[in-house]
Amino acid sequence: MVLTVDFHSAGDVVRWSLTDDGVTRTVHEGYTPTLFVGDAARDLYGRRGGPTPTPPDRDGLSDSLTELQAFLTGQDAVANTGCESYRQTFRTAPRPLLRIDAASVDAVRQIAQRVQQFNRPAEYTCYNVDLTRQFRYCLETGTPASPDQSVRPLRTLSLSIPPHKSGPDALTHLTIDGDAAGQTPEAAVTAVDRAVRERDPDVIVVSTADLIPLLFDAADTHDVSGFELGREPGYTKLAGESTYTSYGQVGHSPARYTLPGRVVIDESNTFFYHEAGLPGCLDLVNRAGLPLEELGWASIGRVLTAMQIRAARDRDVLVPWQAWRPELFKPAATLDAADRGGTTFAPAVGVHENVHELDFASLYPNIIRTRNISPETVRCGCCDTDDVPGLGYSICDADGYLPTVLGPLIDARSRIKDQIEETTDDAERDRLESASAAIKWILVSCFGYQGFSNAKFGRIECHEAINAFARDILLDAKTALEAVGWQVLHGIVDSIWVTPAPDRDQRPLETVAAEISADTGIALEYESAFDWVAFCPMRNGDSGALTRYFGKRRVETTPSTGELGDAIKTRGIETRQRNTPPWVSTVQEDALRVFDATRSPDAVCDVLHRHLTALRRGDVATDDLIVANRVSKRADAYTQETLTVAALRRTQHHGSSLAPGQTVRYIVVNADGRGIDRVRLPFEDSESYDADWYEDAAIRAVESIVSCVGWDRTDIDQYLADTTETTLGSYNTQP
Amino acid sequence: MNTSQRQPRVELPELDAGLTLVDVGSDLGVTPVQSLLLDSIFAGDGDAYWVDAAGTAQTTRLRELAPDRRYLHRVHVARGFTAYQQTSLLDRLTGEHVTAPSVVVATGIDRLYRDTDVPATHAQDLLVRSIAALARVGRVHDVPVIVTRSRADEFTQPLVNAAQTHLRCEDTQFGPRFTDATGDVDTLVYHLGDGWVQTTLAYWQEVLTHRARMHDAPVVGEEATSGVV
Ligand SMILES: [Zn+2]
């Protein structure tokens, strides 16, 4: 079991494992990673392609593969070549392929590119090319990817600088585990050096990976002798900062660094560490077999892919490099049915009393599992059955591999949920909740990922089939509920809201839910009873508005101040959105509270009026007006001059920059102004703000609430104008 | 449709077997190409095969255009989402699963090869290979092959060279017009005359209804000669 794996340019690999008091270091000399090259794309996917590819029979390597072998033999990047049989797809038998052992991990891609340029285009298909290095090593050598925590728990050290600081001076703001490191760059570097020596951490969490070269450079400048962050000298840059375009989207990935013998987690470039903390990450390392450092920066898709690759390997299937496998031809009529999109009933817009919500548990993963949906089972070509509702696709009788990947995750998550219920130990509960959060993300993303074009083993037909089953299941549930006296108010993907149908007797919901669960094979769970639920109407030009709603849970008492807690459930409205300024959230939550108490749009607008008066008076603290937006691209890549762009430019103006994926925070001071003067950054301690802009935001947040009783912006404006007049009038008549 | 007493003259260009490159004015979208596709089905016995790399194979417009919903069963669609998938699909058009088409359409043939995950030199090779594959489709099945591109530039010049016919479809004040560089083709689809103000959709729907009638192909609401169109 390993903590981390280092790769030396000479080809040697160093493995680090935990011991009671530190780590052991094992050198693996002459590790040669392996890739494979197989038949021409046309033989698998082109002319001979179809549900089950029929490449021509052969015993050894084809002439063209032999030619390639001769070309590669003797090249520096190549350690060895040979012929070995593997399966190129889930639907083909093992075939003799060209095996290439690369001289080092860096040589793998180089070789693949040479193969791509050799001979005619599309002459070869390459396998096991783009695996991350630590993952590849564990996979190829059978090394378990997780550190052995039964030896001792991991030691971590956290180094952080504020997001708006960069360059050597930023080090004067450096904190070590939250404590200031030193007032000069030299003092900070010395303090880091001491902390690293004393603590000997296994994991170093940095607020930005740029800290690593910054610290080494400063140590150099200030002659801090013997400065090290790793367990051996130096550091390695694994990837440069890069911007790329893929299918019309501009993406950005920050530079990545690693330290010998330690795991680096970059807080500005991690999904799972943010969502699930270190315990959740470690739990997932175990399940996915993706080593901790790589899991740190991995997307959900990458983790899911790692699991799929392991499952494929169990079946002797290699990992395709490029996505050659296309969808099968289908009648436009079928595509038309498949394209109907997600399952949403048109909701009964407005406020409804006495509402119950029922949810299908992990609907999409359970559909995959119970309906045997997998890239090699949908439209399999060997079974002529009509299995997918509305589309007529067959699903193979043979067990698909995707259910075997997701099944254990579904079970693990429900087991963890049970344990959370049972445990009385707070630390244990935290650990369990972290683990649950990490798994949840994999489960909620597995459906979308099936439709992602570059997904290894992804297939659009799986995506369509899952959607078709989901639609069918929700419609069946609706029919079953209506048959026993319930009126269905709304349904979205996996949730259904019902209320007793007037003048009818109802079968108890628990009973109906159990019947539906038995019929569909997927548990329909009782989520909550609501005193009332309001479904918001569509906003102009906003097609996603069918998912905006809020409701008051029965039993729970609404807290009189502060956050609403569990008493009122909200989805899709401003207070749920991360970028909403705290003050706007407060206005909306106060509005919800008053709406719950009075159900009166007038009373809600009175709340708004009170808040706006305070805003106009300048009584709102600027901290409560901070807008936090996730950066989606570099400042110069934006084409529109939005406030976020102004804030990004202002950040640059202060000598710092934010990478896509990070969050920019700002206060709007003059929305109609020009350039970087439209906003201030939080650390600039601005006293003023743009009251018009925040007023507009508050009115929109209140409009979300009162829209469910038919009020729109005009009604709110009119009410506010009348109120202001009344207030002024009463003021003037005062003696 | 008895909006006009006189029998309107509705024309679409006659397509020969082989590659026809169609450059469509951006405001017309994929509709003229879908119209040519449907028109070929009216006239022929075979089905249409459509490989889309432009993200335009949404069926809503095709459904709206088709004079009868049953035509949607005679259009076989496959979408390439990566340059490599598209390359496979164009090869597959001459495979055993594609039998006796009446027309083949490839939209946005260059688009995916422009992605940065395809190295530039390799991209040019793959594009040329795809053009050759389409030319082969025309020869093997002896049918018209309609191709569109996402951009007219140096990169797609090999397509211009390979195409037997190069049509432009532009919106004029009298309605959409197909022309070719040599002047051999000049087809004003349907003279709008005075006072005709219609949406693009209604315009093409009317065009296709007339074309279907011309070929004695079924139109919704009419008695179909048989259950199969
Ligand atoms: Zn089968």
SS (H, E, C) chain B: CCCCCCCCCECCCCCCCEEEEEEECHHHCCHHHHHHHHHHHHHCCCCEEEEECCCCCCHHHHHHHCCCHHHHHCEEEEECCCHHHHHHHHHHCCCCCCCCCCEEEEECCCHHHHCCCCCHHHHHHHHHHHHHHHHHHHHHHCCEEEECCCCCCHHHHHHHHHCCEEEEEEEECCEEEEEECCCCCEEECECCCCCCCCCHHHHHHHHHHHHHHHCCCCCCCCCCCCCCC
| Beta-strand runs (E) in A260-315 | 263-266
Q: Is residue A268 pLDDT above 50, yes or no?
A: yes
| A551 and A505 both lie in a single domain | yes
Alpha carbon of B173: minimum distance to chain A alpha carbons (Å): 31
A41 touches B at CB < 8 Å: yes
Q: How many whole angstroms separate alpha carbon B60 and alpha carbon B65?
A: 9
CA of A383 from ligand 1 middle (Å) equals 4
10-residue block means of pLDDT along chain B (229 residues)? 52 91 88 93 92 87 91 95 93 89 96 84 91 95 96 95 93 82 74 59 85 87 45
Three-state SS for A132? coil
The domain in which residue A73 lies consists of 32-132
Final residue of a domain: which of A78, A102, A132? A132
* A329: DSSP letter: P
Contact A329 B91 (CB under 8 A): no
The shortest CB-CB distance from A325 to any of B85, B117, B125 is to: B85
Q: Which of B56, B34, B8 is nearest to B169 (CA)?
A: B34
Confirm whether A506 is domain-assigned. yes
Burial group, residue A42, by CB count within 10 angstroms (0-12, 13-18, 19+): buried
pTM higher than 0.90: no
DSSP H or E stretch at residue A93? none
Query: What does the pLDDT read at residue A678?
Result: 94
Give the chain B residue whose CA is nearest to the CA of A337.
Answer: B59
A330 touches B at CB < 8 Å: yes
* β-sheet bridge partners, residue A35: A100
Show residues of chain A in contact with B126, CB under 8 Å: 121-122
Q: What is the 3-state secondary structure (H, E, C) of A552-621?
A: EECCCCCCCCCCCCCCEEEECCHHHCCCCCHHHHHHHHHHHHHHHHHCCHHHHHHHHHHHHHHHHHCCCC
Query: What does the pLDDT read at residue B199?
Result: 67
Which of A114, A336, A339 to mutate: most B Cβ within 10 Å? Answer: A336
Residue A545 banded pLDDT, cuts 50, 70, 90? very low
Final residue of a domain: which of A534, A564, A594? A564
**For residues A531-541, average pLDDT:** 81
DSSP H or E stretch at residue A697? helix A691-706
Which of A39, A42, A321, A452 to mutate: most B Cβ within 10 Å? Answer: A42
Query: What does the pLDDT read at residue A563?
Result: 59
% pLDDT > 70, chain A: 93
% pLDDT > 90, chain A: 71
Show residues of chain B in contact with A120, CB under 8 Å: 125, 129
Sign of the Cα torsion A292, A293, A296, A300 reads: negative
Contact present, A287 and A439 (Cβ < 8 Å): yes
For A458, residues 6+ apart whose C-beta sits below 8 A from its C-beta are A323, A375, A449, A450, A451, A452
Tokens 């004393």 map to which residue? A198
| A553 and A579 both lie in a single domain | no
| A629 and A675 both lie in a single domain | yes
Q: How many whole angstroms separate alpha carbon B7 and alpha carbon B44?
A: 23
End-to-end CA, chain A: 83
| A192 and A126 both lie in a single domain | no
Return the exposure string of A689-712: e unless at least 16 CB atoms fall within 10 Å of the residue's CB, then b.
Answer: bbbebbbebbbebbbbbbbbeebe
Here the tokens at position A391 are: 């589309």
Q: Is residue A160 pLDDT above 50, yes or no?
A: yes
Confirm whether A317 is domain-assigned. no
Q: Which long-range contacts (CB under 8 A, 24 or more apart) does A592-595 make?
A: A592/A550, A592/A564, A592/A568, A592/A705, A593/A558, A593/A560, A593/A564, A593/A568, A595/A705, A595/A706
Q: Is residue A3 pLDDT above 70, yes or no?
A: yes
Tens digits of residue pLDDT in A379-438: 998 999 999 999 999 999 999 999 999 999 999 999 999 999 999 999 999 999 999 999
The shortest CB-CB distance from B73 to any of A122, A326, A333 is to: A333
Contact B82 A335 (CB under 8 A): no
A50 touches B at CB < 8 Å: yes
Tens digits of residue pLDDT in A52-102: 888 888 889 999 999 999 999 999 999 999 999 999 999 999 999 999 999
Cα separations (Å) of B187 from A210, B171, B174, B202?
62, 12, 11, 19
- In this predicted complex, what is the ipTM? 0.92
Confirm whether A26 is domain-assigned. no
Three-state SS for A99? strand
| Beta-strand runs (E) in A198-344 | 203-206, 236-239, 242-246, 249-253, 256-258, 263-266, 330-331
Query: What does the pLDDT read at residue A541?
Result: 47
Contact present, A156 and A25 (Cβ < 8 Å): no
For the ranges A270-274, A557-561, A642-646, the lowest mean pLDDT is seen at A557-561
For position A121, which CATH number holds? 3.30.70
| A110 and A178 both lie in a single domain | no
Query: What does the pLDDT read at residue B181?
Result: 77
> Checking DSSP bridges between strand B75-79 and strand B48-52, what pairing results, if any?
parallel
B129 touches A at CB < 8 Å: yes
**For residues A245-269, average pLDDT:** 77
Q: Which of A307, A318, A325 is nearest to A462 (CA)?
A: A325
Tens digits of residue pLDDT in A335-350: 998 887 666 777 788 8
Residue A715 banded pLDDT, cuts 50, 70, 90? very high
The shortest CB-CB distance from A329 to any of B49, B126, B129 is to: B49
The shortest CB-CB distance from A121 to any of B82, B94, B129 is to: B129
Q: How many whole angstroms separate alpha carbon A395 and alpha carbon A554?
A: 43
Give the chain B residue whose CA is nearest to the CA of A338.
Answer: B59
CA of A372 from ligand 1 middle (Å) equals 11
Final residue of a domain: which of A132, A163, A185? A132
The total number of residues shown for chain B amounts to: 229
| A264 and A382 both lie in a single domain | no
| A154 and A278 both lie in a single domain | yes
For the ranges A22-31, A124-133, A183-192, A448-457, the lowest mean pLDDT is seen at A448-457
**For residues A157-172, average pLDDT:** 86
Number of domains within chain A:
4
Confirm whether A267 is domain-assigned. yes
A460 touches B at CB < 8 Å: yes
Which of B59, B64, B122 to mutate: most A Cβ within 10 Å? Answer: B59
Tens digits of residue pLDDT in A295-335: 999 988 899 999 999 999 999 999 999 999 999 999 999 99
B132 touches A at CB < 8 Å: no
Give the chain A residue whose CA is nearest to the CA of B73.
Answer: A331
Contact B92 A339 (CB under 8 A): no
Q: For A700, phi and psi rounded to 5 degrees?
A: -65, -40
Contact A332 B84 (CB under 8 A): no
Contact A453 B82 (CB under 8 A): yes
CA of A458 from ligand 1 middle (Å) equals 18
Domains and CATH numbers, chain B: 18-164 (3.40.50.300)
| A291 and A269 both lie in a single domain | yes
DSSP H or E stretch at residue A674? none
For position A655, which CATH number holds? 1.10.132.60
Contact B81 A453 (CB under 8 A): yes
Alpha carbon of B111: minimum distance to chain A alpha carbons (Å): 9
Give the chain B residue whose CA is nearest to the CA of A245.
Answer: B116
Query: What does the pLDDT read at residue A249?
Result: 44
Q: Is residue A538 pLDDT above 80, yes or no?
A: no
| A153 and A262 both lie in a single domain | yes
> Checking DSSP bridges between strand A203-206 and strand A156-160, what pairing results, if any?
parallel
Give the chain A residue whose CA is nearest to the CA of B48.
Answer: A331
| A623 and A701 both lie in a single domain | yes
| A253 and A402 both lie in a single domain | no
Q: Is residue A628 pLDDT above 70, yes or no?
A: yes
The shortest CB-CB distance from B88 to any of A326, A333, A339 is to: A326
Contact present, A480 and A513 (Cβ < 8 Å): no
Show residues of chain A in contact with B81, CB under 8 Å: 247, 323, 453-454, 460
Cα separations (Å) of A501 from A349, A471, A474, B204?
17, 23, 19, 46
A454 touches B at CB < 8 Å: yes
**For residues A11-39, average pLDDT:** 95
A249 touches B at CB < 8 Å: no
| A380 and A509 both lie in a single domain | yes
Confirm whether A22 is domain-assigned. no
> What is the separation of C-alpha A709 from the centre of its chain, rounded to a whole number of angstroms?
35
Tens digits of residue pLDDT in A557-616: 655 555 566 788 998 889 888 889 999 999 999 999 999 999 999 999 999 999 999 999
Three-state SS for A353? strand
The shortest CB-CB distance from B122 to any of A116, A244, A336 is to: A116
Tens digits of residue pLDDT in A188-222: 999 999 999 999 999 999 999 999 999 999 999 99
Q: Is residue A18 pLDDT above 90, yes or no?
A: yes
